[in-house]
Structure 1
């Protein structure tokens, strides 16, 4: 059996956290893109590039929420939380993060 040193374990943990954050960002981007695709006639006062703000902010909120999800599920024993509670709590944190990112991204346009 090959032993791994601490450096290899840290790289694997960072890669897993990055994948979880990327998954959270991709899901958030898909949801906000689907939501913005339904806008047929945007207000001319918003400007031509009004979609850029929500398309950047919402995936960032999704990535942060996905990272928090990883941290909570990976370190639930150290925090003294049962795994089922950690799963429910991380899902709630993701939904709240996605909602807050949507509010921040759409403020001044679709969220008045």
Structure 2
């Protein structure tokens, strides 16, 4: 008779913090480049237009890191399904970063 031990498995991996920081850092680096190279910006944007993209884009970047972490069991599958999920997870990360940049710059640099 085969017995198995049931253990409680966490939804998140130990690398969650690292992945979220990488996502937030990547978002901050990209949006920081756009914000710093914009100069004064359009006067119609207001005086504090830089605050929204500098807060929103890194926050959404951290969410992309969270989503990447949640898909860890799928990426760990053996064979071609694991490789497919690896590519899909990388695409999710890139699309999520792009959408975070779009939402952060919406109403200012992104019309």
TM-score band, normalised by shorter chain: 0.7 to 0.9
Equivalent residue number for residue 32 of structure 1: 31
Q: Which runs of 4 or more aligned residues in structure 1 lie more than 6 Å from their structure 2 counterparts after TM superposition? A: none
Gaps of 5+ in 1: 1-5
Equivalent residue number for residue 81 of structure 2: 82
Matched positions, count: 101
CA shift, 1:47, in A, is: 1.3
Q: Deviations over 1:70-107 (max 9, x none)?
A: 111x21157xx822112211111111111111111111
Equivalent residue number for residue 98 of structure 1: 97
Q: Deviations over 1:11-57 (max 9, x none)?
A: x93x4112111111111111110121111231112111101101111
Instruction: Tell me which structure has the larger Cα radius of gyration.
Output: 2
- Rounded to whole Å, the distance in 1 between the matches of 2:93 and 2:49 is 25
TM-score w.r.t. the length of structure 1 is 0.78
In 1, are the aligned partners of 2:27 and 2:100 still within 8 Å (CA)?
no
Secondary structure of the 1:75 match is: helix
Higher helix share: 1
TM-score w.r.t. the length of structure 2 is 0.78
